[in-house]
Structures are given as structure tokens and as C-alpha cells.
Amino acid sequence: MLHHHRYAFTLEPSLGLAKRSGADREAPRFLPSVLLVMTLATGAALMPQPAFAVDGCTVLLCLAAPSWRAIPQCVPPIRQLFKDLARGRVFPSCGMAGPGNGSSHAWAQAPTFCPPQYTREFEGPRGPIYRCDYDGAVEVKVEGQSWARTWWSMGGDSVTEYMPAAKAKLGNWDSKFEDDYAAWLANPPPPPCPFC
């Protein structure tokens, strides 16, 4: 028996209808099914969802390119990927990548998993506190070798670190990561003052 407001519904299978007590009206038999579907739909909407509208194969191809920003078809899915990751959604996978090809995501952790040019050090009450300019990194592997690692921030910024295998095959690539590293080496931050 289903209760709805002040009326009670009882199923009459022989008639294919549901009778509502307290009234002469009859409700269609599918009413309980509609309520069940609505309940299931609500539950499904509350479950964690994979990255919204981002195909893992597109992500893999775009992040393996010399510059995903230079390819108009790559910009919307990669920006959506970063938004999805920032919201805690699942990293997409590509079932057609083939053996040795794939991508994965890891959260940045300064100073151990953050490039030195993007690691910031602050003095805390109990010693140094480290912070990375980027929140996570997406690593792409091609033919079993590390190809590229794209560092991304929740604010939408990103930079790609191309590995030797990629550099050998691509010839040219977005060099922002190397340029930032060279600038950091030329002007390193001062060492923390141990007696301050």
C-alpha cells in the first residue's frame, strides 16, 4: 500500500488499476512504477559521477600533443577535465589506448611531487611549509614510456612537462615548463633564514 497525502492507494491487479480509498477515482496502475523510477533517478543523481562529457581517449590524445592549447578541438575537453578533477570527479579512461598507452592523475604534494620552479616555501611555527602552484598532474604514457606530465591548478592554469621520449619524437613543443625552470635556476629563491 502506498500513502500519498491523505489518500491510500491499493493495487487491484485484476482490473489493472489502483484504487484510491476515500474517493471514487481510480489512478493508473503505473503510478507505483513512476514513484520507483523517480526514487532511483534521485539516488543516481546523488552518486559520484565520472568526469562530465570528457572522453578518456580525447584526453590522452590531446595531452600527448605538442600543445593542447593550439588544437581547437582539445581546448574544451581539457578545460572540462581540469574542472572535473577540481570537483573531485573520477579521471576518465580510454579503453582503446592499447598496451603501454594511457594516462593517470595524481594530486600535487610539495616538495616531493611538485617541480622546484613551482614549489613555494614559507616559514611556519614548526618549520618550513611547502605549497605547489599546481594542484595535480596528469601523466601520459606512450608505448610504455612517460611522455608528458601536465600540471594543472583549480584556477584553470596549466603547464606541460615533456619527457625525453616525447621530445625525441615531437621535435618541438610548448616550452613553458623549461622556460620557467631556466628562469628559476637563474634567480633561485633565497634560502630560508635559520636564525630569523
In the numeric block, the cell 593517470 is attached to 104
Sort strands 136-142 and 158-162 into parallel, antiparallel or unpaired: unpaired
Q: In a 10 Å sphere around its CB, with 0-12 CB exposed, 13-18 middle and 19+ buried, how is residue 83 labelled?
A: middle
Q: What is the pLDDT of residues 112-150, one digit of tens each?
A: 999 999 999 998 899 899 999 999 999 999 999 999 999
In this prediction, residue 194 carries a pLDDT of: 61
What's the Cα-to-Cα distance from 92 to each of 44, 53, 68, rounded to whole Å?
19, 10, 17
- pLDDT, tens digit, for every residue of 5-63? 343 434 344 444 444 444 444 444 544 443 433 444 444 344 444 434 478 899 999 99
Question: Where do the domains of the chain lie?
Answer: 2-46, 56-186
